[in-house]
Amino acid sequence: MAAATTKMLKYVPPETIPADMMYFDAGGTTFHTHTCPDGHKWMCNSPYCTHLQALCPDHDGEEPVTIGREPWRR
């Protein structure tokens, strides 16, 4: 049986994101905070986020749009 994988990472230098905060790197420059319905917070740097309260990628939510991989450019 394969090990479970996560889509979010766990470490960024403390001046950018708290060391214990999960985050999704979408290639942007400014991180913002999302809240999963179960209450945990996670951060991402996608400039395309339209709402900040939704399931995170690790709980079957959609991944934030990554810069350079925008669906409308494919």
- Which residues, other chains included, contact 15 with Cβ-Cβ below 8 Å and sequence gap of 6+? none
For CA atoms 54, 57, 60, 62, the dihedral sign is: positive
Q: 50 pLDDT exceeds 70?
A: yes
Q: What is the pLDDT of residue 73?
A: 83
- The residues pairing with 53 across neighbouring beta strands, listed in sequence order, are 35
Strands, DSSP E only, in the chain? 22-24, 32-35, 41-44
Tally Cβ neighbours within 10 Å of residue 4. Answer: 6
Per-state percent for the chain, helix, strand, coil, to nearest 5: 10, 20, 75
What pLDDT digit, counting tens, does each position of 8-49 carry? Answer: 766 566 577 887 888 898 999 889 999 999 999 999 999 999
